């Protein structure tokens, strides 16, 4: 069986994707980072992603973001391994929110 993978997206693709229904933006930075600056979405720190994954199961598209793309890549890989996300599309913002113009 082939392992499910996530899709890297650009800022432009993010702007189009967040307009779609059944899409959730998940910022995996720590709460203080999210409070300091964010582009919206749910704040679920990377350390909490497995415990809080049930907050995401109602969405078809899950877009994971962080500051520079490192933590969001880890979170995207982890979500791809979870059985409840096998039928979902997982996206990772390449370069993180430092690269955005949202």
Q: Where are the domains of the chain?
A: 7-99
The confidence score (pLDDT) of residue 100 equals 64
Mean pLDDT, the chain, integer: 92
Q: Is the pLDDT of residue 94 over 60?
A: yes
Average pLDDT over every residue of 64-71: 96
Report field, pTM of the whole predicted structure over 0.85: yes
pLDDT in tens, 80-91: 999 999 999 999
- Pick from 99, 24, 93, 43: nearest CA to 65: 93
Q: Does 99 have pLDDT greater than 80?
A: no
Residue pLDDT, tens place only, 36-54: 999 999 999 999 999 999 9
- 3-state SS of 72-98 is HHHHHHHHHHCHHHCCCEEEEECCCHH
| Domain spanning 7-99: CATH superfamily | Rhodanese-like domain (3.40.250.10)
């Amino acid at each position: 069986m082939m392992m499910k993978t996530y899709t890297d997206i650009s800022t432009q693709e993010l702007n189009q994707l967040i307009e779609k229904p059944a899409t959730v933006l998940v910022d995996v930075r720590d709460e203080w980072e999210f409070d300091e600056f964010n582009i919206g979405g749910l704040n679920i720190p990377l350390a909490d992603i497995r415990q809080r994954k049930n907050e995401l199961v109602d969405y078809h598209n899950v877009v994971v973001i962080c500051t520079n793309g490192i933590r969001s890549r880890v979170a995207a890989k982890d979500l791809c391994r979870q059985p409840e996300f096998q039928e979902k599309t997982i996206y990772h913002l390449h370069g993180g929110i430092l690269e955005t113009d949202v």
